[in-house]
């Protein structure tokens, strides 16, 4: 079998099962979305080979690497066969038996895996320049001009729901909170999976941008620079700051209902811990009120105590914004949101 090395664009557009052969630590820090990690070396083995390279040179490091791979060859073969059986079976989206392989720089690790795949009579392609070339493309993506419209609104306005409704109606959206596994407030991590690293968060955003038409408007929720521990790429955030904004208006009653439905399902311990994290900003009286209300399951009072703080922060942030169009969705049925946005000239 011939294994071909492709530039990034062709590599991304080709079909096949995407395999990252770098170490688990490298993969965790950042990887191409939808890739599977089948490492040639684990974290400890990679360190051993690296030390040999620094102390004894390339040839000795290669020999040591071959010794490690020889001892685990059966396991590697098993992983690729398992991946083939799991991901290629009954799949119309992935070319049968075709693997898309990348390592850090498109060097010896991916080439070694190519040799192994050849022995198994599998086909595959290699990413020229490896993950390093992909990361360079990700960072360049944020320098492109993007047509952004923001969906803004105070806490509890249902902005994420609106984005998802727009997506169902074929509008282009990027849900940053979904990608960050965080809702953006002190309560934002409740019920969510572990957040990605910041590097992986950037990869996920870029992956969404690759899929979308940059000549059409992309709708994004108005966010602070940080969503939990994830930071929106500087260049993208600068574009967001000057983008037109659709400001969602909801009554306090609607907002409290939304927040109660979202957060009252979590344990009192989790909710109180979240409140304590912002006690300096809430102040002693609001903090005490919020905690007591959680303990008494008075969810409306919890929301009022916290909203008082978040609303003031939001109003302060919004004061200098230009090109803001308001849309009042108080007691508006979800099915009427898109028609109302069209009627008001906010979307087409």
Q: What's the token pair of residue 239?
A: 């574009």
Looking at residue 92, its pLDDT comes to: 57
Looking at residue 89, its pLDDT comes to: 67
Looking at residue 124, its pLDDT comes to: 84
Q: Is the confidence at residue 346, as pLDDT, over 90?
A: yes
**Annotated catalytic residue within 103, 230, 303, 313:** 103
In tens, the pLDDT along 230-284 reads 999 999 999 999 999 999 999 999 999 999 999 999 999 999 999 999 898 889 9
Q: Is the confidence at residue 39, as pLDDT, over 90?
A: yes
Domain ranges of the chain: 4-138, 142-343
* CATH number assigned to the domain covering 4-138: 3.40.250.10
Are the C-beta atoms of residues 35 and 23 closer than 8 Å to each other? no
Looking at residue 105, its pLDDT comes to: 93
Looking at residue 54, its pLDDT comes to: 77
Considering only CA atoms, which of 345, 325, 336, 339 is closest in space to residue 248?
Answer: 325
Question: Average pLDDT for residues 90-119, to the nearest whole number?
Answer: 80
Question: Average pLDDT for residues 72-78, to the nearest whole number?
Answer: 87
Q: Is the confidence at residue 90, as pLDDT, over 70?
A: no
For strands 226-227 and 230-231, give the pairing.
Answer: antiparallel
Residue 3's pLDDT band (cuts 50, 70, 90): low
**Overall fold of domain 142-343:** Rossmann fold (3.40.50)
In tens, the pLDDT along 286-306 reads 999 999 999 999 999 999 988
Question: Average pLDDT for residues 117-142, to the nearest whole number?
Answer: 92
Determine which of 78-82, 225-229, 250-254 has the lowest per-residue pLDDT on average.
Answer: 78-82
pTM of this prediction?
0.91
Highest mean pLDDT among 74-83, 84-93, 163-172, 262-271: 163-172
Looking at residue 56, its pLDDT comes to: 77
Q: Is the confidence at residue 29, as pLDDT, over 70?
A: yes
Highest mean pLDDT among 113-117, 177-181, 187-191, 257-261: 177-181
Sign of the alpha-carbon dihedral angle for 63, 68, 74, 76: negative
Looking at residue 1, its pLDDT comes to: 46
Residue 117's pLDDT band (cuts 50, 70, 90): confident
Q: How far apart are CA 59 and CA 343, in angstroms?
A: 70
Active site residue 313: no
Residue 91's pLDDT band (cuts 50, 70, 90): low
Look at 259 and 51; give whichever has higher pLDDT. Answer: 259
Looking at residue 95, its pLDDT comes to: 54
Considering only CA atoms, which of 190, 222, 220, 177 is closest in space to residue 313?
Answer: 222
């Amino acid at each position: 079998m011939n294994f071909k090395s492709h530039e990034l664009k062709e590599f991304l557009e080709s079909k096949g099962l995407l395999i990252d052969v770098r170490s688990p630590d490298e993969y965790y820090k950042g990887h191409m979305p939808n890739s599977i990690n089948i490492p040639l070396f684990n974290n400890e083995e990679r360190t051993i080979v690296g030390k040999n390279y620094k102390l004894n040179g390339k040839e000795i490091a290669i020999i040591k690497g071959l010794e490690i791979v020889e001892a685990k060859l059966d396991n590697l073969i098993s992983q690729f066969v398992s991946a083939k059986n799991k991901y290629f079976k009954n799949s119309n989206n992935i070319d049968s038996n075709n693997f898309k392989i990348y390592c850090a720089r498109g060097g010896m690790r991916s080439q070694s895996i190519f040799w192994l795949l050849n022995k198994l009579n599998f086909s595959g392609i290699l990413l020229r320049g490896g993950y390093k070339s992909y990361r360079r493309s990700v960072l360049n993506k944020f320098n492109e001009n993007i047509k952004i419209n923001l969906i803004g609104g105070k806490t509890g306005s249902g902005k994420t729901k609106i984005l998802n409704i727009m997506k169902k109606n074929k509008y282009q959206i990027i849900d940053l909170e979904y990608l960050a596994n965080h809702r953006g407030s002190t309560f934002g991590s409740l019920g969510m999976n572990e957040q990605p690293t910041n590097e992986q968060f950037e990869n996920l955003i870029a992956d969404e941008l690759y899929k979308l038409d940059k000549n059409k408007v992309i709708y994004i929720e108005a966010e602070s620079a940080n969503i939990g521990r994830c930071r929106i790429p500087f260049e993208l955030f600068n574009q967001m700051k000057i983008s037109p904004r659709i400001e969602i208006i909801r009554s306090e009653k609607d907002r409290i209902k939304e927040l109660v439905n979202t957060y009252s399902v979590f344990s009192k311990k989790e909710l109180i811990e979240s409140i304590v994290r912002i006690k300096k900003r809430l102040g002693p009286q609001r903090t005490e009120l919020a905690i007591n209300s959680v303990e008494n399951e008075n969810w409306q009072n919890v929301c009022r105590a916290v909203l008082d703080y978040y609303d003031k922060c939001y109003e302060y942030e919004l004061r200098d914004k230009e090109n803001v169009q308001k849309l009042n969705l108080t007691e508006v049925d979800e099915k009427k949101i898109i028609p109302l946005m069209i009627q008001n000239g906010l979307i087409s």
